[in-house]
Amino acid sequence: MAAHKLLLLPGDGIGVEVLAEVRRILAFIEQKGILSFEIEEDLVGGAAYDAHGVAITDAAMQKAKAADAILFGAVGGPQWDGVPYDVRPEAGLLRLRKELELFANLRPAICYPALADASALKRELVDGLDIVIVRELTGGVYFGEPKEITDLPNGQKRAVDTQVYETYEIERIAKVAFELARVRSNRVTSAEKRNVMKSGLLWNQVVTATHKAGYEDVKLDHMLADALGMQLVRAPKQFDVIVTDNLFGDILSDVASMLTGSLGMLPSASLGAEDPATGKRKALYEPVHGSAPDIAGKGLANPIAMIASLAMALKYSLGKPELANVLDRAISEVLADGLRTGDIWTEGMTKVGTSEMGGAVLKKFETLL
C-alpha cells in the first residue's frame, strides 16, 4: 500500500491542541491497516516566526508541495500583533494558498440534528441544513495590486486595495462549484455585486458562460452578495452550493458558520487544480476558526472542526469517502450522546474538554467501523 504523504502544520494557540486529536485518529487508521501515512510536521505562523523570523520557511513550503494533503491548525495571536506585515502569522497561510494555488475553498455549513437548538436561528430554519460555500481563494482584493498606504501632501493617508479577477480564475472556480453541485442537489447560486463592481460584472458573465458550456444540467441562480447575506439568515435551506469571490466568501461563510452553532464545528478544504498526469490535487484542510487566544492552552477547544477537516481530507485527497462518512457519523453520534465542549454547551449536556471530545469521537469511530 503506497503511503500517503501528510504534512501537519499545527501553528499557534488551539491549533496545536486540536491537531493533536487528529494525530490520534491518524494513528488509529494506520494501526488498523486502512491507510498508511508518511507524516511530516513543521512550524507555521507565530511559531515559525519565533523560531525562524518568517511565517513559514522555504523548507516547510517544500514539504507542503510534496504532500498529498496538508492538515493545518490555526495561526496568530496577540503576541505577534506588532511584527512586520509580511512576516505576520497569517502570511504563512497566505503563502501556502498562493504558491500551491489553492484557489477553491470549500466551506460546508451542516447543522447536526443534536445542535439545531444551539443555532442563532430558530430550529426549523436550520434543522437539516447542508450547504457548501465555494469561495475563490487566490485572487480578488486580498491579493490585487496596488495594495498600499501612502502619505498625502495634506498630512492625511490614503489606503488602496485592488480587486482583480481574470476570466480563467472565475471559470475554474465556477467549474468546481458546478461539479460539486452534481453530486449534491444540483443547484448553484453565484454571488457578486455586478451593480457596482466591474469585477462583479465579469464574474457574472464568466459564470454564465461556463454554465452554458457544459453544465446546463445544473440549476444556476445569480444573487447580489448583500441580498444573499440577507437570504442566508432569513431562509438558509433554499441554498445548496454558493460560489463567490474571496472577500464575499470570507464574510458569507462566517455568517453561514453561525447558522450551525459554533466556529468550533466548521471544517474547510482548500483545493488546487487537478494534475492531469496524476489526477491529484494539492490540498490543505483546516478548521475555519483561528487560534482562539482567549482559550488557548487550557484544553477547552472544540476539536470537531479539525476532525471534520480530516474527514474532508479522507474524502477529497485520500480516496476514502466512505471512511470520511463514518468519521462524520461518529461526530454526529457523540453530539447525540450529549457531549459538548464549552462553545456548544447547553443546559443538561455533558461538558468536556478537547481531549475528552477527541477521545469520544475516536472511540465512536472505532465502534462504527
Q: Residue 254 Cβ, how far from Mg ion at the closest point, in Å?
A: 5
Cell, residue 251: 464574510
Contact criterion met (CB below 8 Å) for 9 and 72: yes
Report the distance separating Cα 300 and Cα 296, nearest Å: 8
Q: Kindly give the pairing relationship between strand 241-244 and strand 187-192.
A: parallel
State yes or no: residue 302 binds ligand NAI (CB under 6 A): yes
Report the distance separating Cα 334 and Cα 326, nearest Å: 12
168 labelled catalytic = no
Annotated catalytic residue: which of 175, 193, 282, 315? 193
Identified binder of ligand NAI from the candidate list 263, 273, 326, 349, rule CB under 6 A: 263
Which residues have CB under 8 Å from 362's CB, separation 6+? Answer: 21, 24, 25, 28, 330
Identified binder of ligand NAI from the candidate list 29, 305, 312, 352, rule CB under 6 A: 305
Residue 47 marked in a binding site: no
State yes or no: residue 358 binds ligand NAI (CB under 6 A): no
Residue 203 marked in a binding site: no
Judged by DSSP in three states, 75 sits in coil
Q: Which is nearer to Mg ion, 169 or 250 (CB)?
A: 250
226 labelled catalytic = yes
Amino acid at 105: N
Report the distance separating Cα 8 and Cα 44, nearest Å: 10
Report the distance separating Cα 96 and Cα 102, nearest Å: 8
Q: Residue 45 Cβ, how far from Mg ion at the closest point, in Å?
A: 15
Q: Which is nearer to ligand NAI, 67 or 305 (CB)?
A: 305
State yes or no: residue 100 binds ligand NAI (CB under 6 A): no
Identified binder of ligand NAI from the candidate list 148, 274, 294, 366, rule CB under 6 A: 294
Stretch that binds ligand NAI, among 69-77, 96-104, 221-229, 360-368 (CB under 6 A): 69-77
Residue 266 marked in a binding site: no
* Binding partner of residue 192 among Mg ion, ligand NAI, none, CB cut-off 5 to 8 Å per kind: none
At residue 163, φ and ψ (nearest 5 deg) are -90, 120
Q: Residue 68 Cβ, how far from ligand NAI at the closest point, in Å?
A: 21
* Binding partner of residue 265 among Mg ion, ligand NAI, none, CB cut-off 5 to 8 Å per kind: none
Residue 82 marked in a binding site: yes
State yes or no: residue 96 binds ligand NAI (CB under 6 A): no
Contact criterion met (CB below 8 Å) for 59 and 95: no
Q: Residue 188 Cβ, how far from Mg ion at the closest point, in Å?
A: 22
Residue 267 marked in a binding site: no
Report the distance separating Cα 138 and Cα 121, nearest Å: 32
Annotated catalytic residue: which of 42, 68, 112, 142? 142
254 labelled catalytic = yes
Element (H, E) at 19: helix 14-31
Report the distance separating Cα 93 and Cα 95, nearest Å: 5
Closest to 103 in 3D by CA, of 249, 216, 212, 213: 249
Judged by DSSP in three states, 90 sits in helix
Site string for Mg ion, 224-263 (x = CB under 5 A): --------------------------x-------------
Identified binder of ligand NAI from the candidate list 35, 42, 49, 76, rule CB under 6 A: 76
At residue 175, φ and ψ (nearest 5 deg) are -60, -45
Say how many residues touch ligand NAI, by CB under 6 A. 22
Q: Residue 295 Cβ, how far from ligand NAI at the closest point, in Å?
A: 4
Cell, residue 365: 469511530
Contact criterion met (CB below 8 Å) for 197 and 163: yes
Amino acid at 118: A
State yes or no: residue 255 binds ligand NAI (CB under 6 A): no
Q: For the packed helices 14-31 and 304-316, what is the interaxial angle rounded to 10 degrees?
A: 50
Residue 127 marked in a binding site: no
Closest to 192 in 3D by CA, of 154, 260, 144, 246: 246
Task: List residues forming the annotated binding site.
Answer: 77-90, 97, 107, 135, 226, 250, 254, 290-302
Binding site for Mg ion (CB under 5 A): 250
Binding residues for substrate: 97, 107, 135, 226
| Residues binding ligand NAI (CB under 6 A) | 14, 74-77, 90, 93, 263-264, 286, 289-295, 301-302, 305, 341, 343
* Catalytic center residues: 142, 193, 226, 250, 254
